[in-house]
Amino acid sequence: MAQCPTYLLSECVDNYFMSRQLSKKKYYASYMVIAKNVWQKLFRNTIWAVQSQWMTLKAGDPYNYIDVPKGAQKGGRIFSVSTVDHKCGLPQPLYYNNQINIIAKPRHRKCGCTEDCHCDGLCEAVNSFVYTTRLLFTILGVDYYEQCWFKYCKNGDILEYCKTPTKQYNNIVGDGGDYNVDYNDDWLIGNPPFTDFQIVYTETQRKICHLETHPCGCPKETKENAELLSTHCGCQLNFDCRFKRHHCQQYFPNVNNNHLGEIKMSECGTRIYFIPPRNHHHCDTEDNERLPKFLLVTFQTNGLGDDVVQVPDYALPAMLTGINYESIRFNPSIAFNQKQDAKYQHEDEIAQLIAFLNPISVIETGKVQDEPVLW
């Protein structure tokens, strides 16, 4: 029976021990960890094994999502997420939009109202004011900032509170000097005339505008309220608020021209959210939801997976030199020239592995001499 041309990690370590004529396996567990790390490094940077897998689209909040394949987690690389084109039935890559907000909205309202009160955009906006600071002056290397924030009141008033650092002088006599020839106490040019002071914070309050409210105290969704909020408070709202003053152009232009949808990775790295396009009415599906049931994920695995790791036979020399180099790399008793020699041997085996996986075509090489010289 023919033997499978692969080696287990334990067999790679056994080959290394036999190559070095080592009979004792005192540090066998340590060499197994080194072999695992060497194989992952070879698999990620040298052996580009790319896989594709259809993942089921699941319902989620704030968008539907697919799970990241297990082989692509904890060190894997995701190259593309595709869906099927309805015209030709071919996989088309989806646009990765980093500007999409995937953080779910809180279940409890900031205004404190019950579910019976339909508090929409304006109610959320007046509870999303930002805290701003402005540098006023610097004394002896210490920066003093003015702190301002807005607050919405239940009667519809929007108030601005500020804490401003000011100089409180202990006396107004001034510092004496002898600058002019008249022998009087004059202030020197370029120096402060009053140095006997302390910094105190003055709190101020002023009314910005007044909004029309519901009986519960939340602002009404009217055009007048929206204009007042955008005009007087548009620069003090959160970045993703629709009432914030925006530029005419996006910071990052949208290059998605296939109009098949957009994706974004979750913060935990285990989900990929799918955002359907705005003009997807041309898609005809049975459930009228115009959403795909599966998405095709193309990724590179981390080299380990759920099954037993199998190293191909053509990668065995690179594995042996890698184990040898990593085993002496952090050993202070090994000379530096020996470490460098082990490193060069490992890099040479990696180069031969790359040449084996990417052979040069003799036919393509023969065509080079027939190419016109352009320079």
pLDDT at 347: 95
- Asked whether the beta carbons of 326 and 37 are under 8 A apart, the reply is yes
SS3 of 206-219: EEEEECCECCCCCE
Q: Band of the pLDDT at 140, cuts 50, 70, 90?
A: confident
Q: Band of the pLDDT at 316, cuts 50, 70, 90?
A: very high
233-262: pLDDT as tens digits: 777 676 556 555 544 455 555 556 557 888
146-170: pLDDT as tens digits: 999 888 888 889 899 999 999 888 8
- Asked whether the beta carbons of 301 and 310 are under 8 A apart, the reply is no
336-357 and 316-328 are packed helices; what angle lies between their axes, rounded to 10 degrees?
160
Domain extent listing, the chain: 6-47+304-358, 50-99+252-300, 121-236
H helices of the chain, in order, are 9-19, 28-45, 121-126, 223-233, 316-328, 336-357, 362-368
Distance CA(33)–CA(235), nearest Å, equals: 55
> Which has more confidence, 101 or 178?
101
pLDDT at 287: 45
Q: Which residue in 148, 244, 154, 159 sits closest to 209, CA to CA?
A: 159
